[in-house]
Amino acid sequence: MSAFALERRGGVAIVSFDTPNEPVNKISKAVGWELEELLGRLILDEPVKAIVLRSGKRDTFIAGADIEEFVQLRSVEEAVRLSRDGQLLMQKFADSPKPIVVAIHGACLGGGLELALACQYRVASDHPKTQLGLPETQLGLLPGAGGSNRLPRLIGLRAALDIILAGKSERAKKALKIGLVDEVVPEAILLETAIAAAERLARGWRAPRPGRGVAGVLLDHNPIGRTVVFRKAEATVLQKTGGHYPAPLRALEVIRTSLDRGMKRGLEAEAQAFGELAMTDVSRRLVEIFFATTALKKDDGVPSGSGRPRVVRRLAVIGSGFMGAGIAGTAVLNADVEVRMKDADLARVGKGLKAATDILRARMRRRRLTTYEFTRKSALLSGTGDFSGFAGAEIAIEAVFEELSVKRQVMAELEAAVPTDMVLATNTSTIPIHDIAVGARHPERILGMHFFSPVEKMPLLEVIPTSMTSADAIVTAVQFGRAMGKTVIVVGDAPGFWVNRILSPYLNEAGFLLEEGVPIEVIDKAMTDWGFPVGPIALLDEVGLDVGEKAGKVMHQAFGDRLAPSKVIAVMRGDDRLGRKNGRGFYFYKDGHKTGPDGSIFQLLGVRPAGEVDVARVQERLIYAMLNESAMAMSEGVVRQPRDGDIGAIFGIGFPPFRGGPLRTLDAFGAAETVAKLERLEAAHGHRFRVAPVLEEMARTGGRWYPADGR
């Protein structure tokens, strides 16, 4: 069945792209051939004077080339061929003797935008779902169907680099401003506007192109200015990626070749670079992450059909502190639900409401929220000093002090105040949910929702059911977490759940290294060099040394001496150091910004800072502490499959995406090699490095966490 339907309006042929049985339009090889054949027919069809290309899908235009086809590529040559074919298809659109107008509503990404760039005129709807972008670098690739060559020519070098290097999308209004689209109209008149433009173009009218501006002439359109731009862009890429991601650097090379040596050479360079990048392990890991996160969007954590979700229209939040306000603001921002916040006294409620509103205000300042949306969403927030207004909520989330007795009391008060079918969620970072649910009259509706701080920025949510939680409650919490914009993993009700479980030995090891006098910046740089966004010491300051101390105690109590924390945090707490939150931690802070390591902690610890440090050994101890714990937690069923463990680590603690997560890293290292390394570490540093039994088993049997073909 064809992906394209044809309708005629006078001299305008309207082509509707609607891949049958697919939720989104993708440009696969087959679709590309069909599109090329259709275009050829329309060009020869004398009555047709112009063409409009639109999507038949409700909220997506074209999601790009078919990523499924990349994972089947087996050689650079094959991948180069795929890119060349894409370029040739787009060139036919660019060379069309009849004007082609694209009517864009919804996601217009990757090859979809490259197709739009090859057309003569672009009209977009002003709907929030209309996003235009080239996300290829997020897959370890670069725009390989002409986009790396066409975009800089259309919108200028600097604007093009912004879009291609970060792989980000722009909403229609911004796209209009930078010249990526020619018109932005409400969806209701999108098609008519595109048809009118097609008719004008057929009569010889040409769209006015925005001026280049002084900066454009000085920087984008002259070789010396371009050198300055490329040098700055390369430095920024290296600073952001630590050199671990080749795609943005290759994109810079290709764009430079294209602008300095012409489009023909530029397209050759684009196809070659695409081909080489498609064969890199980095791209394979990033494509795996794409498919894993997409699969998680459909995984409610219970056997399909076994849970009936409640549609959440109102959220109740107990505790209006940092986390409670973050949860409230994020729920209003992304899930667009009413939120009622409660705290012991109205002054705290007022502070919480302000903090939640500030999350909306920050988005408005960055033009990711209109003033109207800000006002409307702010009105969804309300506060109370009692339980008034809670009865109308479908779900309540408590985010009170991380203390078992306090959480138990809140749950008891909640149960007494709200209907028995309301889902009651507790935001706790380590305390087992079944301990909090002790004594509950309806434990079937109680579960954990562990958000990460800051809530509005961190993408992961752990949903933690107890053995008594109902499937309805689980599905309701998972789908609401997703509506809040989170990637949700359902994890087992064991201390630390998944993320804090694998983080615990890693942070402990960082403390032991400090006790040996290894400088703070050496430890943190060792791990940022390995690919983490921040090092373990900086992470402790961010999370808060009080939180770290509490979590450390819970994990030590639960897992015994193997997870006994170093004495460092206790010493820091003794010196009233909380980290960023009180401006005194392992680092100095000025105006809320980290300024540098505070070496005075070594006097507190009574150790001399070490001179020479073997950084590779520092990396080994920290990495293997986390990998070993990951294997152990996996074997205990803390997460249901390696995919969830890897996504949880990447989205929860910034585990380097180019490595694919701790389980993919264990597969890359190999079980036998990992066991040997851990045995050496145990001999040197004690039983905390004792090999997880599952790894010994895998070393014997050659076992892996993922099938050898990588999927």
Kindly list the catalytic residues: 462
Q: Can you state the angle between helices 693-701 and 671-685, rounded to 10 degrees?
A: 140
Residue 230, SS3? helix
User: Judged by CB under 6 A, which of 144, 552, 645, 656 binds ligand T1G?
Assistant: 144
Cα–Cα distance, 278 to 241 (Å, whole number)? 18
β-strands 314-318, 169-171 pairing: unpaired
Task: List, in sequence order, the alpha helices (H) in 338-470.
Answer: 346-365, 371-378, 404-417, 433-436
Q: Is residue 128 close enough to count as binding ligand T1G by CB under 6 A? A: no
How many residues touch ligand T1G under the rule CB under 6 A: the total is: 28
User: Judged by CB under 6 A, which of 48, 99, 136, 514 binds ligand T1G?
Assistant: 136
Q: Please report the beta strands in 385-525, taking only residues with DSSP state E, as ranges in sequence order.
A: 395-398, 423-426, 446-451, 460-465, 487-490
Give helix then strand counts, H and E, for the chain: 30, 20
Cα–Cα distance, 527 to 524 (Å, whole number)? 5
Q: Is residue 183 close enough to count as binding ligand T1G by CB under 6 A? A: no
We find the least distance from the C-beta atom of residue 143 to ligand T1G, in angstroms, to be 4
List beta partners, residue 239: none
Q: Is residue 140 close enough to count as binding ligand T1G by CB under 6 A? A: no
We find the least distance from the C-beta atom of residue 189 to ligand T1G, in angstroms, to be 24
Instruction: Give 29-52 as a DSSP string.
Output: HHHHHHHHHHHHHHHH-TT--EEE
Cα–Cα distance, 144 to 136 (Å, whole number)? 9
Q: How is residue 342 written in tokens?
A: 């409660």
Looking up tokens 């975009």 gives 151
Which one of 41-49, 58-66, 259-267, 382-390 is the stretch in contact with ligand T1G (CB under 6 A)? 58-66
List beta partners, residue 4: 17
We find the least distance from the C-beta atom of residue 326 to ligand T1G, in angstroms, to be 24
Rounded alpha-carbon distances, angstroms, from residue 623 to 50, 363, 542, 630, 670:
59, 36, 20, 11, 14
Q: Please report the beta strands in 421-566, taking only residues with DSSP state E, as ranges in sequence order.
A: 423-426, 446-451, 460-465, 487-490
Which one of 19-27, 32-40, 557-565, 609-617 is the stretch in contact with ligand T1G (CB under 6 A)? 19-27
Binding mask 286-315 for ligand T1G (x = CB under 6 A): --------xx-xx-----------------
Rounded alpha-carbon distances, angstroms, from residue 201 to 49, 196, 244, 671:
9, 9, 46, 63
| Closer residue to ligand T1G (CB): 149 or 193 | 149
Indicate if the alpha-carbon torsion angle 663, 668, 669, 674 is positive or negative.
Answer: positive
Q: Is residue 145 close enough to count as binding ligand T1G by CB under 6 A? A: yes
Q: Is residue 86 close enough to count as binding ligand T1G by CB under 6 A? A: yes
Q: Is residue 247 close enough to count as binding ligand T1G by CB under 6 A? A: no
User: Judged by CB under 6 A, which of 24, 417, 483, 610 binds ligand T1G?
Assistant: 24
| Closer residue to ligand T1G (CB): 67 or 418 | 67
Q: Is residue 626 close enough to count as binding ligand T1G by CB under 6 A? A: no
Binding to ligand T1G (CB under 6 A) within 385-424 occurs at none
Which one of 31-39, 108-116, 318-326, 559-567 is the stretch in contact with ligand T1G (CB under 6 A)? 108-116
Q: Is residue 63 close enough to count as binding ligand T1G by CB under 6 A? A: yes
User: Judged by CB under 6 A, which of 14, 38, 64, 587 binds ligand T1G?
Assistant: 64
Q: Is residue 557 close enough to count as binding ligand T1G by CB under 6 A? A: no
SS (H, E, C) 354-366: HHHHHHHHHHHHC
Q: Is residue 266 close enough to count as binding ligand T1G by CB under 6 A? A: no
Task: List, in sequence order, the alpha helices (H) in 242-306.
Answer: 246-261, 263-278, 281-296
Phi, psi of 490 (to 5 degrees): -95, 120
User: Judged by CB under 6 A, which of 32, 99, 135, 536 binds ligand T1G?
Assistant: 135
Q: Is residue 32 close enough to count as binding ligand T1G by CB under 6 A? A: no
Describe the strand order of the beta sheet including 121-125 as a list of residue ranges. 4-9, 12-17, 50-55, 100-104, 121-125, 183-185
Which one of 139-147, 393-401, 421-429, 499-507 is the stretch in contact with ligand T1G (CB under 6 A)? 139-147
List beta partners, residue 122: 102
Q: Is residue 67 close enough to count as binding ligand T1G by CB under 6 A? A: yes
User: Judged by CB under 6 A, which of 51, 104, 109, 423 binds ligand T1G?
Assistant: 109
We find the least distance from the C-beta atom of residue 288 to ligand T1G, in angstroms, to be 12
We find the least distance from the C-beta atom of residue 4 to ligand T1G, in angstroms, to be 18
| Closer residue to ligand T1G (CB): 131 or 476 | 131
We find the least distance from the C-beta atom of residue 503 to ligand T1G, in angstroms, to be 28
Cα–Cα distance, 447 to 466 (Å, whole number)? 6
| Closer residue to ligand T1G (CB): 64 or 99 | 64
Q: Which residues contact ligand T1G by CB under 6 A?
A: 23-24, 26, 60, 63-68, 86, 107, 109-111, 114, 135-136, 139, 141, 143-145, 147, 294-295, 297-298
